Amino acid sequence: MAALRAFKSAENSGAEIPDVVCFEKQDDWGGQWNFTWRTGTDGYGEPVHSSMYRNLWSNGPKEALEFAEYTFDEHFNRPISSYPPREVLWDYINGRAQQSEVKDLVRFAHVVRRVEFDDQRRKFTVTVDDLRNHVTEVRVFDQVIVSTGHFSFPNVPDITGIESFPGEVIHAHEFRGAERFAGQRLLLVGGSYSAEDIGIQSHKMGARHVTMSYRSGPQGFAWPDGVDEKPQIERIDGSVATFVDGSSGEFDAVVLCTGYLHHYPFLPDSLHLRSPNNLYPNDLYRGVTWNANPQLHYLGAQDQWFTFNMFDAQAWFVRDLILGRVELPDADARASHMRQWSDRYQAVADDAAAVRFQADYIRDLIEQTDYPMFDLDEVVRIFLEWKADKKQNILTYRDQAYRSVMTGTMAVVHHTRWIDELDDSRERYLDAQTTADSVS
């Protein structure tokens, strides 16, 4: 959606743009934000893309992800709170994409089966299956932008004994809601965002107990009663998990919050990103362009503090590379640039440095395009304040309000605390907000 918007924006200011076609395997756009109740494979037999669950709210302040050229004020015409639920954020990104009138560039229910590159002709051959009409198409392209993200194919480690655990075992990718864990003893495997949010979500929905098992180190939040952390699982026997510190517990269900794979089944090895999930992935010039073949680009392949506005900065940069507005250095110069940033990334020692690294990375991209620059230092400050809020109280951080760096608008305080709000619908959110406004 960022790439389509970027090209449309250039066209609207008079530029000639190439023929752009977007192949989307789902029936609608929105990627992760196109929520589905389905898990496993979809109605066409294709792996389900979205990892979201019914009650998901933004886990960072919206002021850190706001688009610089389509603000929350422009979309909602009034201040909203800082942590909107899923449907509200979907409304925002959909509104922007609708405004661009780019939907006719998207071929929905078209799955890209294979991308091949012909070294002689310097062209990609893309094989696409039209899932509705059962037609296989083969198309030739000069440039390919991989925009699938990398939070759709679960990383699922083996755990000794898990094959005979009698309860439900799912990956966070398949988690759609915590209502059914009410009264249950839940084991979450993992110590990052998925475990944290599914953990407090399940606590909110009445889980009897939530245990999170970490590999590298505890998350260390001030967990409420009924939530705790344990080190790695040594083995599972029946419904009992034993941890490497010798402690053990009985559980009713397991959710594997063990992250995601860089998995692009449509790409041959020569074009396939392989990288740990970090802020400066391997082999990508300026974090987007496949250095071994700069006609291929990845958007959003990094681990993410920044999200929507980072994808924009990347999309605008890739667009300008393709339009020839930005010069592509030769392979040596690219390699040297990547080494320099990679060294810088290696020196990152803590979260504060990591956020600043990503802000600098985005600044570097924006400076080369006409994407509106915004106060990245202030966003870094917001991220650090957000971290402090979470440290302070993991159950209330979503009740805080921030000021937009784009418009200066102060977010409103949502009328209902996150812990008490059980209806996450857009209607309830916007109606209730109106009520809160008129009362205040």
Q: Which of the stretches 67-75, 88-96, 169-177, 276-284 binds a second copy when contact is defined by CB under 8 A?
A: 169-177
Tell the smallest beta-carbon distance from residue 315 to a second copy (Å): 25
> Cβ closer to a second copy: 50 or 211?
50
Can you tell me whether residue 118 is helix, strand or coil? Answer: strand
Tell the smallest beta-carbon distance from residue 92 to a second copy (Å): 21
Beta strands in 159-222 (DSSP E): 168-171, 185-189, 209-213
d(CA 429, CA 55): 12
- Which residue is associated with the tokens 């959003």? 300
129 binds a second copy (CB under 8 A): yes
> Cβ closer to a second copy: 72 or 298?
298
> Cβ closer to a second copy: 161 or 294?
161
Hey, what's the torsion of the CAs at 385, 388, 393, 394, to 10 degrees? 80
> Cβ closer to a second copy: 283 or 370?
283
d(CA 382, CA 378): 6
Return the bridge partners of 230, or none: 213
d(CA 354, CA 356): 5
Q: In Å, how far from its chain's centre is CA 235?
A: 31
Binding residues with a second copy: total (CB under 8 A): 55
> Cβ closer to a second copy: 33 or 383?
33
**CA 200, 166, 183, 421 torsion-angle sign:** positive
Helices 331-346 and 351-366, packing angle to 10 deg? 150
Cβ neighbours around 226 below 10 Å, total: 15
Q: Could you say which residues in the range 265-284 bind a second copy, by CB under 8 A?
A: 265-266, 268-270, 272, 274
**CA 384, 386, 388, 391 torsion-angle sign:** negative
What phi, psi does 117 have (nearest 5°)?
A: -115, 130
Tell the smallest beta-carbon distance from residue 287 to a second copy (Å): 21
**Binding test (CB under 8 A) with a second copy, winner from 13, 14, 37, 104:** 37
Tokens of 402: 């921030």
Q: Which of the stretches 43-51, 78-86, 240-248, 281-289 binds a second copy when contact is defined by CB under 8 A?
A: 43-51
Q: Which of the stretches 73-81, 257-265, 318-326, 396-404 binds a second copy when contact is defined by CB under 8 A?
A: 257-265
Q: Which of the stretches 68-76, 156-164, 194-202, 333-341 binds a second copy when contact is defined by CB under 8 A?
A: 156-164
Tokens of 386: 């957000």
> Cβ closer to a second copy: 249 or 329?
249
Q: Could you say which residues in the range 179-238 bind a second copy, by CB under 8 A?
A: 179-180
**Binding test (CB under 8 A) with a second copy, winner from 17, 105, 106, 261:** 261
> Cβ closer to a second copy: 111 or 321?
111
Cβ neighbours around 323 below 10 Å, total: 15
Site string for a second copy, 386-405 (x = CB under 8 A): --------------------
Q: In Å, how far from its chain's centre is CA 64?
A: 13
Q: Which residues bind a second copy (CB under 8 A)?
A: 35-48, 54, 111, 113-114, 127, 129, 134-136, 153-154, 156-158, 162-171, 173-174, 176-177, 179-180, 252-253, 261, 263, 265-266, 268-270, 272, 274
